[in-house]
Amino acid sequence: MKKYEPQKIEPKWQRAWEKSEIYRAQDFSKKPKKYILIEFPYPSGEGLHVGHLRSYSALDAVARKKRMEGFNVLFPIGWDAFGLPAENYAIKTGIHPKEATQKNIANFKRQLKSLSLSFDWNREINTTNPKYYKWTQWIFLKFFEKGLAYQAEIPINWCPSCKAGLANEEVVSGKCERCGTQVEKKIKKQWMLKITKYADRLIDDLEKLDYLEKIKTQQINWIGKSCGTEIDFKTENSKDTIKVFTTRTDTIFGVTAVILAPEHSLVEKLITDDNKEKVMNYIEQSKKKSDFERTEIKKEKTGVFTGSYCLNPVNNEKIPIWVGDYIVATYGGGAVMLVPAHDKRDFNFAKKYKLSVKEVIISRERFSLIKSTRTVLPQLNESFIEDGVLIDSGQFSGLTSEKARREILKYTEKQGFGRKAIHYKLRDWIFSRQHYWGEPIPLIHCEKCGAVPVPEKDLPIELPYVEKYQPTGTGESPLAKISEWVNIKCPKCKGPAKRETDTMPNWAGSSWYFMRYTDPYNDKSLADSKKLKYWLPVDWYNGGMEHTTLHLLYSRFWYKFLFDIGIAPQAEPYTRRTSHGIVLAEDGRKMSKSFGNVVNPDDIIKEYGADTLRIYEMFMGPFGQAITWSTKGVKGVYRFLEKVWKLSLECSENEKSSPKIIRAIHQLNKKIDEDLEATKFNTIIAGFMKFVNLGLEDKKEVGKDTIEKMLILLSPFAPHISEELWQKLGHKKSIFKEKWPKYDPKLVKEEKINLVIQINGKVRDKIEVEANISEKEANQLTLKREKVKKWIEGKPIKKTIFVKGRLINFVV
RNA sequence: GCCGAGGUGGUGAAAUUGGUAAACACGAUGGAUUCAAAAUCCAUUGCUCGCAAGAGCUUGUGGGUUCAACUCCCACCCCCGGCACCA
């Protein structure tokens, strides 16, 4: 018998499968469709990472199984190839990003093919192909047409190292997500996408979706919806009113100051002459600070009195107006009311600046105590932030916080100084980048007509080939230097005009790529509407947690917009979203070139074969969890495949399988069906190992029929070895043309079981019995046993608990 | 601080959702094979006591519910991920 040599059999089958096109998805097939999607990779110079393969191997097994179950499966792949790394690489080496990208794609493709991932390569897409980004630009024009793409002069997050503006989502703890450099503020005219218009729907529609719970909550928190009240505080000496946003209307009688952000439009007017120098100084100081410094939580809150007062509309109390740089200008109008007694920060602020503390909410317990004993409240030494009962709040005293919030809102509405207000943490998406390697934004600036969209017939606006793609650092894109490209006639008035030179962020192309897979060669529309309707939504999308508030949120937003303009067939793109944990290096750190701890899949394939790598990726641990790579673990999987090889060939002559083996294979069949849906890939592999070990215990019991069934079950996970053994067993057709077996629920059940005998809940004995033994029989059988007698020892049995097929427990 | 997910052998982990804790794998120890090594095969492997039969203990800690708790309830501790002066 020949040894298992994956290096010999794998390339052979890869060629054969490529020719037979068994992975092709059929448009409009009568079979039910399944759209299975993995996040398409960025083709980096480092090549495929074992981390990529965790998601790919698992979802490939899903796709293969679904095909065998009779589904018309779409499992596509493409390249998310625009972005900074290619550009940085180009700057370093002088190789044009286009060439570098092409080279990287070729390498990725070779690597993916060496793993036999069952992608439909006929639908391969590339975001940097003008035929593709024509439609990315087209979608942008639609956003513009509907008023959802607009230009704004705003302070943006500027990464001085990447020399680019970043979206809020790309800033992590004040640093650039990509390079870790401290982000600065820069005022620039930027293109924005109005994602905030979709904030509510992005939250509400999550309810209907099968996303991992943590993904949903992360998105909800990111959007950060908060419902409250906006209340007008009239200033004492002018007609101006300050609009304050609060979620705690119930504390309004406890307001002892109003604090404005330094950027608030009324600040300058409110400063009185004697305070001018102090306040202006303060504002100067805070302007110098970065956003991150200003919002650092540990920092002590500072502020300064403007000298002016406003009036609390509920009781006309005179309230001092302060300026504090911890107030976020862009949220809730940049003004807050200070309620020291019921907010931790406010309490500390009041103490520091000797502002009064007015208690207006107390706990229910204290409320009833005070009512009965009429004790005076002691001075507060910390804020009481919970809900409670209102005191000293005029007509609202005695109400609970919850009720008071409703009543006071009603009252303010009636009086005309308050209204319901909803605020979000989510900001509009900063959509321009001052870089070369991205989709040009298809707009033309005309002095007379303003921003004019490029006519649809002129799309795509191709990225011009330039020699110098270095970012300028002036905040202008390198494209700005190509005057023959920039200077153009206005499409509207034919006067002189200039092209927009900013490009789109790398998140643009990936925001709709899964739609293009349904019709990748269409040049009339982004995809044929019938094809979109047939294939979408994606049935199962797996990807990394790191994209939850980036790509996943962005693409849901784009899809909703495309749905609203009648292109996407429904309001949500992905029915189900799961997520895999990252693969850490053997030393427990992140795999990184600089640590020198990166595992290259090519090396693993060379030594153990693709099947081993694929199975190891699934076996290494729970799918959703971060996991450390272990080369020893890879060896263990290789041993398992050797056992599969041995068992299959040694048993291929046996006529019949024993009932024990038949039961085991049906149990395995069931386990795969159930665990695959639950993304428990690790226990599926363990199930296979258990089965093979059982078979090897007594090879005579394992018949050819069972071996064949095992190979079919194994084929989605380890395609090469399964196909090779299948053919060795005498089959001419591919194993992937076989139907997925159905297990018999009757056969899954064990006939004999180990009945556990407990006395007072402790296991004292076990006995092998028929699985369907009755309580009476069990009672008789077990009480006879020596061990049981010993433990009972004449004590009266108070109670007997019998769990059918499991245990009997005597309470004495 | 808030939100989320966790804490089980030497290691990665499993546990039919309240019913034999530690499946499967790695590693380790001993043995077989070999001139030798690798590979392979067999045995042992949660901890403690014991020559053994056996007994006791064990799922972060402390309580509780139950005939029975890794699983349910309460309190606390510790790691990981996300958000974070958001009013």
CA pair distance A610, A604, nearest whole angstrom? 8
Smallest CA–C1' distance to B5, residue:
A214
Q: Is the CB of A686 under 7 A from strand B?
A: yes
List of E strands, A395-516: 418-423, 429-430, 443-446, 450-453, 487-489, 496-499
Measured in angstroms, what separates residue A632's CA from nucleotide B27's C1'?
9
- The set of strand B positions with any atom below 7 Å of a protein CB reads 3-5, 12-16, 19-21, 23-27, 39-42, 55, 67-69, 80-87
Residue with tokens 């693993």: A604
Least-confidence region, from A262-266, A673-677, A688-692, A748-752: A748-752
- A689 CA: nearest nucleotide by C1': B24
For residue A740, the number of C-alpha atoms closer than 13 Å in the C-beta half-sphere is 19
pLDDT at A298: 62
Q: How far is the CA of A764 from the C1' of B58 (A)?
A: 17
Distance between CA atoms of residues A596 and A607, nearest Å: 20
ipTM of the modeled complex: 0.95
Q: How many angstroms separate the CA of A138 from the C1' of B50?
A: 81
DSSP string, A494-526: -SEEEE---B--TTTGGGTHHHHTTSTT-SSSS
pLDDT score of A677: 93
Strand B closer than 7 A to residue A295 Cβ: yes
Segment A668-684 mean pLDDT: 95
Phi, psi (rounded to 5 degrees) for A34: -140, 125
**Could you identify the residue whose CA is nearest to the C1' atom of nucleotide B82?**
A218
Closest CA to A327 of A291, A288, A285: A291
Furthest CA-CA distance within chain A: 109
CA A743 – CA A127 distance, rounded (Å): 43
Q: Are A415 and A313 in contact (CB under 8 A)?
A: yes
Q: Assess whether A248 (CB) lies less than 7 A from strand B.
A: yes
Q: What pLDDT, in 10s, does the model give residues A365-424? A: 788 877 777 666 667 777 888 888 999 999 999 999 989 999 999 999 999 999 999 999
Instruction: Check whether residue A805 has its CB closer than 7 Å to nucleic acid strand B.
Output: no
Task: Name the nucleotide with the smallest C1'–CA separation from A805.
Answer: B19
Distance, angstroms, CA A797 to C1' B67? Answer: 11
Q: Is the CB of A385 under 7 A from strand B?
A: no
In window 167-186 of A, residues with CB < 7 A from nucleic chain B are 172-173
What is the C-alpha to C-alpha distance for residues A724 and A736, in angstroms, rounded to an integer?
12
Q: Please name the residues in contact with A391: beta carbons below 8 A apart, sequence gap of 6 or more.
A: A359, A360, A361, A362, A367, A370, A397, A398
Q: Provide, in whole angstroms, the distance separating residue A738's CA from nucleotide B33's C1'.
A: 42
Query: Would you say the C-beta of A760 is within 7 Å of strand B?
Result: yes
Nucleotide nearest to A174 (CA to C1'): B84
pTM of the model: 0.93
Decide: CB of A337 under 7 A of nucleic strand B.
yes
* Lookup: nucleotide whose C1' is closest to A291 CA: B85
C1’ B25 / CA A540, Å: 29
Strand B within 7 A of A635 CB: yes
* A722-727: long-range pairs with CB below 8 Å, 24+: A723/A13, A724/A9, A724/A13, A725/A644, A725/A645, A725/A648, A725/A649
Query: CA-CA distances (angstroms) from residue A118 to A32, A40, A108, A114, A204?
Result: 18, 14, 15, 11, 35
The answer to whether some atom of strand B lies closer than 7 Å to the beta carbon of A529 is no
Proximity of residue A296 CB to strand B below 7 A: yes
Q: Which residue in A388, A303, A315 sits closest to A352, CA to CA?
A: A303
Is A680 near strand B, with its CB below 7 A from some atom of it?
yes
For the stretch A539-597, pLDDT in tens is 999 999 999 999 999 999 999 999 999 999 999 999 999 999 999 988 888 888 888 88
Closest CA to the C1' of B20: that residue is A756
Tokens standing for A210? 């099968």
Model pLDDT for residues A723-765, shown as the tens digit of each residue? 999 999 999 999 999 999 999 998 888 888 888 888 888 888 8
The gap between A619 CA and B38 C1' (Å) is 26
Q: Please write the tens of the pLDDT for every residue from A701-726.
A: 899 999 999 999 999 999 999 999 99
